[in-house]
A and B are shown apart, each in its own frame.
Chain A
Amino acid sequence: MSHLLHYEDYALGQSGEHGDYEVTADEIKDFARRWDPQPFHLDEEAGRASLMGALCASGWHVCAMMNRLMVDGYVNHSASMGSFGLSEVRWLKPVFPGDRLSLRWTVTDRRISSRRPEMGILTMHFELLDHKREVKLTSDGVNLFRVRGVK
């Protein structure tokens, strides 16, 4: 366990970036068929006719891909206790096939839970960027990591 990063290893203002996740039309359609079967997530032609102008990923799929970047990037290298949730998610721009996504995170607040002294609460600001450095999504949320040496 000791090789894992703990609450203490994340400083206020610290940031990191992880990528890149290549978005494919097949994955967009697979996710949509299972979870969000709206025409503009399932079919190129319907995407072109929509407000977004092309086949684009479900917003929930974009969140899931962001989460994968988060887990591979730092959560699985940390003593993670999950998350309470997110205060905001802003879907700013559609995600299209061929986009390569990276996740940038910044620690905006940190404290130890008053009820559970083994639990460190990190508030994070997230930006999901594409290969052209366009911001597709921003979010503010919580990562919970163990405090070192507290059972």
Chain B
Amino acid sequence: MKGRWYEEMAVGEGLELGDFRFSAEDIIAFARLYDPQPFHLDEEAGRKSHFGGLCASGWHTLAAFMKCFAASDQAARAELADEGKALPPVGPSPGFADLKWMRPVYVDDTISYRSSVTSKRELASRPGWGLVFFHNEGINQKGEPVISFTGKLLVARRTK
């Protein structure tokens, strides 16, 4: 996360990850592959559904979170590498929890993603790593939350 070691992750710290705009073409292309339900595929079907309009697959909203997360991590790593700093290896994630799709994401909505560290702990089973918990969320251009979840990430420790 942002090229930081476990020791550098401060509980309570918030990080802006970037924005993503959902075009109709993108919404439909993603849904054709992974979520072919009528209200994700067709404007008319969207209008007739309880969502009231064509809206993005919830998994599309999460994929865009990952895109922003990865871009922000890679940009921070490049900057730190230029400063000559030793970077931690990228750690895996054991999963996530408390995923809430709070509101639909409609055509041309722009979602801003952010993440804050909620807790962290060292792992007895994996001495080189710590487990960090995040509150991740996406907010639309009207300031309304559309998605939130608890992210979990193994982050390498500087001191073994």
Contact = CB atoms under 8 A, between A and B. Distances in A.
A84 B101 contact: yes
A7 to B, nearest CB: 14
B94 A64 contact: no
Contacts of B66: 35-36, 58, 60
Given A51-B92, A81-B50, A89 B97 contact: yes
Interface residues of A, number: 33
B37 interface: yes
B160 to A, nearest CB: 16
Which of A36, A80, A82, A84 has most B Cβ within 10 Å?
Answer: A82
A59 B97 CA distance: 14
Contacts of A23: none
A82 B51 contact: yes
Contacts of B100: 84-85
Interface stretch (A9-17, A68-76, A103-111, A125-133): A68-76
A89 B96 contact: yes
B70 A86 contact: no
Contacts of A38: 70, 90
A35 B63 contact: yes
Contact of A90 (B70, B74, B94): B94
B51 A91 contact: no
Contacts of B99: 85-87, 89, 141
Interface string B91-133: 0111111111100000000000000000000000000000000
B35 A67 contact: yes
A80 B31 CA distance: 15
A91 B70 contact: no
A3 interface: no
B17 to A, nearest CB: 13
Interface string B24-41: 000000000111110100
A67 B90 CA distance: 27
Contact of A64 (B63, B95, B97, B101): B63
B62 A63 contact: yes
Interface in A35-62: 35-38, 51-52, 58-60
A25 interface: no
Interface of B: 33-37, 39, 50-51, 57-59, 62-64, 66-67, 70, 74, 90, 92-101, 149
Interface of A: 31, 34-38, 51-52, 58-60, 63-65, 67-68, 71-72, 75-76, 80-91, 141
Given A60-B62, A90-B94, 11 more contacts: A36-B66, A38-B90, A67-B59, A68-B35, A68-B36, A76-B36, A85-B58, A88-B97, A89-B96, A91-B92, A91-B94
